[in-house]
Every structure is written in C-alpha cells, then in structure tokens.
Amino acid sequence: MAVKVKDIYKSIKEHMEHIDLLAGEGGMSNLIDWFHVVEVAEITDFLEGREMIIVTGLALKENGETLFDIVQKSLQKGASAIIVNTGRHILSVDAEVLEFCNEHSFPLFTIPWEIYMTNIAKIIAQEVNHHFKRKNELVSSFKNAIFFPEKQEFYSADLARYDYQAEWKYCISIIEVEYLDKEDVVPPDELRRIKKYLENMLAYLAPQGIVFRLNDALVICFANCLEESITMIMTQLIDNLPRPFKKMYTMYAGIGRNTLSVRCIHKTYQIARKVVRLQKKLEKSYEILSYKDLGVSQLLLAMDDTEIMNEFYTNKLKQLVDYDQMNQTDHTSFLEIYFEEGCRVQETAKRLYLHRNSINYKLKKIEEILHCDLSDFNVRVELLVALKVRLVL
C-alpha cells in the first residue's frame, strides 16, 4: 500500500499554501514510491515508476528541451505526478502541457520559486516513509494471521491501529505466475513488476486491499468486501493485465471464502491455495475461480484429511483411471461429460458427435470396469463425487 498523490498534496498543503494543482486531477489516486529531481529528459531513463517528479527548469535552456519533453518522458517511464518550480527558469506552464496532463490524468502541480524545493522533498520523503512503515506492518500482521492464527496478539492490535476491524470479513485471493513454457521459475524482479501493477489497480478498485509475495505467489487480502465484489475486482485485475505480461506468463487466480472475522484469515488462505491448485489442474489460466462457485467441491476443499478422500477415490474411480492409462482410452473424461450433460444419452451424443449406440457402449464398458450399475442414482452420486475428489487431491 503506497502513498497516493492526493496524500502528498494534502501533506504539503498542511505545511504551506503555495502549491496549486493545474492539471491531471484524474490521477490524484496514482501511487507514489519516491521522488526524483529531473532537469533534463535524459534523466527519466533512471525512473522505475511511481515517482513524484520535481522540475526547477534549471537546465532546460542549456539542453534545448522543454517542460513538455520532461512531462511526456516521465509519464512514459511510469511516473505518477510532477511538481514544477515556477517563477524563474519556468515562468508559466504552457497550455499544451496542461492539456497533455489532463488527457493522461497526470497531476501537475506548481510551487513558486521562493519555496525551497528541499523542504518539499523532505515532506514527500516523510510521507512515503510513513506509508511504507504502515504497509510493512500490515503485511506482517496478515502473515501472522495466516501462520499463527491462535496468537491474536501478533496481529489484531496492529490491524486495529490501522482501522482494520477484528469483526470485518476478510478474504484471501492468490495469483500464481508461471512462464508460458513452464521451464523456468519467474524471478523476484518480475513478480515485483506484477505486484506493482496489482497495487496500482487496487488503489482504485479496493483501496483497503493489501498485496504481498508469499511462497513465490502473489497474495491479495481483501478487507470488508462482499464476495461478489471480490470476484468482479479479480476479474478486472486479470482482464486488464498489460499485454507484455500475457505474452510471457500464465497466471492462475483463486479466491478463498469470506471469513467471519480476522481470526479466520488462515482458513481463507488455505482454501485459496487449494482453489489455485484446482485451477492449475483444470488448466484454466487467466480465469477466475472462486470458492463460492465450486458447488460440492467446497466441502472437499474444506476437508483436511486427504487420506479419507484418497481412499474414497481409490475405491470408487481409480480402477477406471488406471484402465484408461494402460489402454489409452478416455472413459474417465467421457464419464465427466456424461455427468455434465445430466446423464442424458442424446445430449452426450450431440456434444461428442457420436451415435447414441456408441454412448451406450461406452457406458456398459464403464460398468464392466467398475463393476457397477450406472442407472443406480447412488452409484452416479458416488462417481460424481469421486471425479471431484480426483481434481482436488
């Protein structure tokens, strides 16, 4: 959770009146990680994104550049806002610059030459450091809530200090990132880039959301948010990913369940992990899978005793899976489709482009392999559950 442009503006206003917003008001929720003094456009090559740019105009004439050049290149490098020192080297800001800033929601502020820019830099640094401290303490508290749920003193007080109430509902979402070829592990620097994108989006969509890295995954903790809203926000986050990310990576996103209070954050985290694992088994990248939409699989994901589930799967379905592997047949996937079509022969035949006699033949073959009667309702229920268990194991 980084500081926003409007927070910096408010803080400067409290110390001095001589700062004016001239353009780019739509970007006042842009995030700020630090500040950078830029006197020539070439310096923008050193920007990493989310900086507050300070320009005095000291070197503009010497380099034959304009304020517009600096504004344009700063925006291209991901800067969040710019402060222009007017009155000596820059007498006023051209209409062209203001129009550009409004068009791109790039806040542009002016401060008169008489104001020492070192004082402005000091205010920005203090504000940024305060928010970094706040963010780090919140991340630490959420990690403690995940790994030490029984020790409430490790997280409840700190969360409450930053207005995260104990009785709010909390929900964890997890995004796992892989290279398209799945050969290499995504390096930390790349995960930081994706994390920065998520933070930028959440600043608008869910300001109380916290993003952090955990076990090579990106974790988003939503606070006091409805499950329907969380699904919509996660969909927007994934759908609006920059193209370079989508060209390089495969992403799997899973949403846990809303907790009853802060004491249950570890539960929603564990469920989110299982949902992501299920998403990967289904090979549904760039889709959102939410616990609330899983039907009977909700019960299976909530079970901690995998030994019981494995025993059920072995007794009911494993023989069919093994038969398929040994004989290179597709009876297991056929059975899934048959259930998806409501056990209707005609509908299954249409979906698979097969004659109904072929469907009946496959059903009889499955009955032979599993020694069961597929017309028996209880048998169908057991096999359907066994198929779900196979996915979550």
| Higher-scoring residue by pLDDT: 17, 224 | 224
> Is the per-residue pLDDT at 64 higher than 80?
no
Q: Please report the pLDDT score of residue 296 as a whole number.
A: 77
Q: Please report the pLDDT score of residue 1 as a whole number.
A: 60
Token readout for 312 is 């059920």
Give the span between the Cα atoms of 253 and 234, in whole angstroms. Answer: 8
Average confidence score pLDDT of the chain:
91
Q: Please report the pLDDT score of residue 12 as a whole number.
A: 92
> Is the per-residue pLDDT at 350 higher than 80?
yes
Token readout for 215 is 């076990």
Mean pLDDT to the nearest integer, 2-13: 91
Mean pLDDT to the nearest integer, 309-320: 90
Q: Please report the pLDDT score of residue 284 as a whole number.
A: 86
Global pTM reads: 0.80
The torsion angles phi and psi of 254, rounded to 5 degrees, stand at -130, 140
> Is the per-residue pLDDT at 289 higher than 70?
yes
Mean pLDDT to the nearest integer, 348-357: 92
Mean pLDDT to the nearest integer, 251-260: 93
> Is the per-residue pLDDT at 8 higher than 90?
yes
Per residue in 101-139, pLDDT (tens digit) is 999 999 999 999 998 888 899 999 999 999 999 999 999
User: What percent of the chain shows pLDDT beyond 90?
Assistant: 65
Mean pLDDT to the nearest integer, 329-349: 92
Query: What does DSSP say about strands 3-4 and 31-32: parallel, antiparallel, or unpaired?
Result: antiparallel
Give the span between the Cα atoms of 162 and 369, in whole angstroms. Answer: 60
> Is the per-residue pLDDT at 385 higher than 70?
yes
> Is the per-residue pLDDT at 10 higher than 90?
yes
Mean pLDDT to the nearest integer, 276-303: 85
Q: Please report the pLDDT score of residue 345 as a whole number.
A: 92
